[in-house]
Structure 1
Amino acid sequence: MATVTYPCYWQKKDNGGYWYWLYYASNGKAISRSSESYVNRSDCERSIDIMKGSSGSSVFYSE
């Protein structure tokens, strides 16, 4: 098995057999989880691709 490096995404199955992902920061702590679970692993992978592609998106905040 490959050595895990951080940051990274992990794909897992929940108790219902649905796929979801967790994102781990460089310190090895989970900091994000997919907002939904997926029947197909490929849909879970697509969700990760969308997140990776959003790195240039604007950030908004309110005070």
Structure 2
Amino acid sequence: MYIGFLTAPFRNEPFDSVVEFAKQYGFQGLEVVAGVGEGHIDAQQVLRDKGSKVKKLL
């Protein structure tokens, strides 16, 4: 079983801080809020760079 959490409650925190928090406390998964111009990940940016920035964080 994997334990993870939704990033929405941390919407005011930078995504890299949320990832570090998850790593520090042993979470194994993240459900990341993503959208155009909102959320932790800009879906259009992920499509443009094939997720390379996100992959580096994870």
Output the TM-score relative to the length of structure 1. Answer: 0.30
Higher alpha-carbon Rg:
1
Of Structure 1 and Structure 2, which has the larger fraction of its residues in strand?
A: 1
Higher RCO (C-alpha under 8 Å, 6+ residues apart): 2
